[in-house]
């Protein structure tokens, strides 16, 4: 008769963890927790689904706890009076669901752009506003549609554009940018940057939302954010086309803000002999996570509470 041995029961904890942490597919984590009560207890107690999330997306290390805001008061009291085992099971379920949602988002990318927030400078506001970069056309009616920086005497100057993504939790895979061809100037110059870098992050404090809403668009806002991810530097070509900048790995943006840093200026204007960057269109590829997941900023700490609404899944 063939003998079967349950390695979770017989191996040392470290060895079992070493085996189970080699799982990649979130569905395999769920299956492992369904093998038996012993396996479920081991997976939940050792936070395997959370560890896999952190391994794939280190940005999740800023999540300090999980809440379920949709639970009725009575259910919350029951949960708080339960053993720590109930909390471990809840955390396992939430992180396993989160991991599965992130993996799904990578296979079905879509547009993640929300709205324009701020540009570090604008030449002729509002006619050359950052808002113009949300539409792919280089014309709005008979008027040119693009964002332009102020003129710089230094070709190594830099500019930044800040956008709000569609959701506070988005998995971002690439950013597309089209420089603007100034078709109404002699020679039709293309006013691109020399290179570009991307940052993802969140507001330092929820109070900063009021600043962004009520202060003029021309006020700088770069110091209102904490950037938790910074990409490598990508070369931008001086070409009138939508240029794709693919991140080495999909990045989970917690907080929902993107900064585009435009480094160096390729084109000098022959009218005033100054250097300008002009951008026609910006597109963000990835996917907002399910509405089942939300985040709340813990003021001034850089940490977050993960909110889980089980009814959405």
Residue 251 confidence (pLDDT): 93
pTM of the shown model: 0.87
Q: Which tokens hold the place of 310?
A: 């089980």
Predicted pLDDT of residue 133 = 97
SS3 271: coil
Other beta carbons within 10 angstroms of residue 53's beta carbon come to: 24
Compute the distance between CA of residue 50 and CA of residue 207 in angstroms, rounded to an integer. Answer: 30
How far apart are alpha carbons 3 and 5 in whole angstroms? 7
User: How far apart, in whole angstroms, are the C-alpha atoms of residue 308 and residue 313?
Assistant: 10
Contact 259, 222 (CB under 8 A): yes
Residues of the chain with pLDDT under 70: 1-6, 9-11, 24-27, 71-83, 105-107, 208, 210-211, 213-219, 300, 312-313
Q: Which are the contacts of 149, defined by CB distance < 8 A and separation ≥ 6?
A: 119, 120, 121, 122, 123, 159, 262, 265, 276, 277, 278
Give the up-direction half-sphere exposure of residue 240: CA atoms within 13 A in the CB hemisphere.
Answer: 10
Q: Which two tokens stand for residue 31?
A: 């299956």
pLDDT in tens, 221-261: 778 899 999 999 999 999 999 999 999 999 999 999 999 99
* 26: nearest Cα among 96, 107, 90: 96
Q: Cβ contacts of residue 192 below 8 Å, gap of 6+?
A: 179, 236, 237, 238, 239, 266, 267, 277
Residue 74's pLDDT is 42
Rounded to 5, what percent of the chain is helix, strand, coil? 30, 35, 35
Rounded to 5°, angle at Cα 182 from 181 and 187: 95
pLDDT at 90: 87
Structure tokens at 76: 């919350």
The answer to whether the CB of 200 falls within 8 A of the CB of 301 is no
Question: For residues 34 and 46, what is the distance between their CA atoms, to the nearest angstrom?
Answer: 15
């Amino acid at each position: 008769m063939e003998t079967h041995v349950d390695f979770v029961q017989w191996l040392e904890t470290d060895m079992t963890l070493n085996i189970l942490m080699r799982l990649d597919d979130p569905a395999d984590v769920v299956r492992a927790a369904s093998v038996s009560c012993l396996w479920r207890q081991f997976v939940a107690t050792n936070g395997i689904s959370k560890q896999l999330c952190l391994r794939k997306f280190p940005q999740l290390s800023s999540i300090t706890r999980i809440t379920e805001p949709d639970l009725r008061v009575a259910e919350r009291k029951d949960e708080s009076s339960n053993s720590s085992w109930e909390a471990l099971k809840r955390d396992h379920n939430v992180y396993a669901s989160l991991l599965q949602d992130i993996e799904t988002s990578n296979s079905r990318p879509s547009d993640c752009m929300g709205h324009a927030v701020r540009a570090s400078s604008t030449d002729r506001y509002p006619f050359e506003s950052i808002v113009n970069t949300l539409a792919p056309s280089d014309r709005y009616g008979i008027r040119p549609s693009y964002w332009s920086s102020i003129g710089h005497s230094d070709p190594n100057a830099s500019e930044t554009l800040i956008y709000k993504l569609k959701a506070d939790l988005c998995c971002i895979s690439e950013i597309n940018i089209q420089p603007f061809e100034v078709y109404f100037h002699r020679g039709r110059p293309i006013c691109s940057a020399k290179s570009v870098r991307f940052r993802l992050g969140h507001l330092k404090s929820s109070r900063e939302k009021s600043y962004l809403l009520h202060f003029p668009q021309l006020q700088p806002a770069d110091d209102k954010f904490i950037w938790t991810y910074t990409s490598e530097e990508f070369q931008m070509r001086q070409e009138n086309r939508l240029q794709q900048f693919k991140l080495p790995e999909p990045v989970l943006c917690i907080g929902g803000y993107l900064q585009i840093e435009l480094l160096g200026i390729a084109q000098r204007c022959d009218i005033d002999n100054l250097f300008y960057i002009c951008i026609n269109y910006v597109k963000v590829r990835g996917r907002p996570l399910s509405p089942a997941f939300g985040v709340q900023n813990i003021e001034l700490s850089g940490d977050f509470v993960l909110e889980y609404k089980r009814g959405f899944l």
